[in-house]
Structure 1
Amino acid sequence: MSACLASSAYALSVDWRLALEHAINRLQRIDGANLGLLYISDRFSPHAAQMIERLRAATGIEHWVGATGIGVLGTGEAEIDAPAVSLLTCRLPTDSFRVFSGRKPLPRDFASFGALVHGDPATPDMSELVQDMSSKVRGNCLCGGLASARHMPLHFADAALQGGLSGVAFDERIRLVTAVSQGCIALPGSWRVTASDENAIVELDGRPALKVFREAIGPALGADLQRAARNLRVGLRNEESGPTGFAVRPITDFDLRAGALSINEQVAEGQELVFVRQDANSAAEDFRRTLARLRQACPEPPVAGIYISCAGRGGALFDSDDSEVAMIAEVFDQLPLAGFFSAGEIASNRLYGLTGVLTLLF
């Protein structure tokens, strides 16, 4: 039997007060609710502290975590570049969680089996912070995302914060199940980098990388490299690739003279890679398969969900900004859901990009 109860609400308004009040009024009241999730449009960043205080007064919930986003989402609703608020409130067993941040570190005597984290994308060592936080989670379930904003990204952990990483850790009574959707389908074959120069992949299995790439993607795309760069990505395999098996990186340049291609990450010799297709059809196919796997992994019906999607997805990748939450609703009917469009997604011990991370709470 589930250890918690939850309710979610989503509201739009150009006035942050109205958006917040509408969301509060749409929440189902839960006696004893003690943890809240808050995701707000980056347009409301200057009012984040006031919003947290209003939520405390209106709900009686002391602890709030979350982030700003260039778009936020809720049950069946999502929109990028819109002034919105998304809330999720939960009643958890007493002392089953701890809110933490750089100001208030996680207590050493708290046994963390899972954690939801948010961070500042401007933090230079974020990947290392994610790995360090993952090492503190005994159940190996770390999930979350980086705040996104045009001017002032914020994350929340009982206060509005800039810099670093914050979140909420759960003990073994709270179960989290997380899945990552890369939004792409791997093409046949895999190769090993045999020569590289920082971000440039020079040789694959001893052959010019660009020649291998053209053979793998076929003559039509191989003759139009600009189109290929828009629709294809490189998937890097390594020990830290997380549950999806590879980390997707966009192709940033082709060097016809050297026969090389570049991505936005340094590449090491000996690293294995695949080429992947990323478009609306492959993204929807991958997301539906991810949801099906997640459904099969559920020990019982989930109480709530947190969905964090890359700001580069939404309507830029699918039919509309709310396509992903619509697919979630098809599989997990009436699931209380909150989340946002992020500047980076977190799952296990890795920081991702261009992915969707769905976490279910039990």
Structure 2
Amino acid sequence: MTDLDVAFLESGDEPRTESLPLSHLSVELGHLYMDDFRGGPARLRELFAEVRPWAEAAQARCRAALGGQARISTCFLVDDYFTPFGSPAEIVPMLRHAAEESGLVIDYLARESSCAATGATQPARLVEDRLVAEPPRQTNGSRPPVTETGWLCNGERSPHTGEAGEAMEDRPGWRPPRQTLANNHSIFLDVELWDEVRGERRWSCPMLAAVWQLLRLGLLRDEGRAVARPVPAPDPLPPTWRELPPVIELRRGARPFFAYRTFTAMPSRFLPVEDAVRTILGQVAVERAVTELVLTRAAAEGLALPADVLRRVEYAFFADPWRVTPPESRASTGR
């Protein structure tokens, strides 16, 4: 028998904001795509070998700052949204084994599709509802809002002059796009959040990645309830990804999945995507109750946690791995 935690609220009361256990740092060890899976265990070991030095450096930095009290967890994301492949029963053991052979341990595994929907909750919609796009100067309201267009930018777009006007009508000259709060010169980004395929919304990779960051930071709530709480990995693992919970715990006793800060190491080819992710995160208004809850918790631990969410998200981008050609197959260079 366990005690029931029952809360009685007046109908007009706001829902209670659920508190979450928090690590100091969430380290992402990888993101599995179908092409990587096709490469088999050797490709997985190669991926983990690329990530390991960066993951270890991030953990060492955290421990250097916080000492033995540092709480660090690791996670791994599987792309079952754009290109579903394989099955959890086949892939999860392969991933765990490849990580262990590379000297890494995966604490939590998540499905990318759960960033779009998990049960009755749609995390991507929750984030879209919290977007506060800054209106450009001299706007006339002719451009539909982001919820209708699916496009979000970090400033002011160039005016559209392609439509025919009335005779003798003055037409505005061309103006370049302009970044909000540009530092001398603009770096303008216009990000597609979603499109429609056969009448259904399909979220973009940057949008799902932004949701993923907010999930790891423990900043998403659905009417006060936490989103995508991890659960122990089912035994046996199901044959389809749809049957797998959104986030599963692979190592019993692991530090919390949610964390004050996140760290992600990834190939440099994903830099444009992460630029787009940061554009999105920079315009998400996290619920005030959640923000205050996390900042108060951090202060109680003596942590100087930035109020700006973007400053809690860290990366390491690396180039293609070093490959050494066997001596017998090298061309003679005369050296």
TM-score range, shorter chain: under 0.3
Q: Which protein is richer in helix relative to its size?
A: 2
- The structure in which a higher percent of residues are strand is 1
Query: Who wins on radius of gyration, i.e. which is larger?
Result: 2
